[in-house]
Amino acid sequence: MTRSRILVVDDERMIRWSIQQTLSKDGHAVAAVETGEEAVAQATDEMPDLVFLDITLPGIDGLEVLRRLKALDPSVAVVMVTATEDLKTAVEAMRLGAYDYVSKPFDLDRLRVIAQNALDRHELRQEVEFHRKESVKKYGFHRIVGASRKLAEVVEVARKVAKSDAATVLLQGRAGRGRTCSPRRSITRAPAPPVPSCRSTAPPSPRNCSNRS
């Protein structure tokens, strides 16, 4: 079983050591750095699965490091670490894509639970993205063959549906005209939501309404 990679970023040596020791005992591969610059450099080399990131750092602060990590890999899970219950900063971190935050001094058992939950979510996102890419290969718009104006209009509408938040789409037409093809392509081309949902994981569910009034 592949060990999860965790990066701890904190300018306090004892904080780095305590988190590193605690999570290493759970079987994770844990690295620790002191500054935001080191964190970004290490993530550029090899992106970790989870980052525990102190908000107050020498040099670039935690929020800027968070922005840079998300620019490198939007799926990386980041838990902010703060010395105070600064709600405004925590809200800003969540807006930028942080998974959660903990305040110092923290309970190590709670830290372990947060770490496991964040890693589970990260793994789920990776699985969803893998299956999405596989579905695009199988059902992508590029597999539709035809050059008529009407077909081009249908494809354009399907692309718009894929980019929207629509949960239900009514398709009309006679049998044998490819009504089941468009839903598959719209689903597989839809952008992945921040949190995996039924739309991103479940296959389209066609319903024959021809006999319903």
Contacts for 194 with CB less than 8 Å, ≥ 6 apart: 97
- Do both 107 and 79 map to the same domain? yes
- Do both 50 and 121 map to the same domain? yes
Range scoring the smallest mean pLDDT among 27-36, 81-90, 96-105: 81-90
What's the CATH number where 13 sits? 3.40.50.2300
pLDDT tens sequence across 117-161:
998 887 777 666 655 656 555 556 555 666 778 767 777 777 777
**Domain enclosing residue 16, as ranges:** 5-129
* Domain-embedded: residue 194: yes
The residue length of the chain stands at 213
Q: Which pLDDT score is estimated for 120? A: 86
Neighbours of 19 (CB within 10 A): 25
Residue 6: strand pairing partners: 30, 50
Q: Which pLDDT score is estimated for 178? A: 56
pLDDT tens sequence across 13-44:
999 999 999 999 999 999 999 999 999 999 99
Q: Which pLDDT score is estimated for 139? A: 54
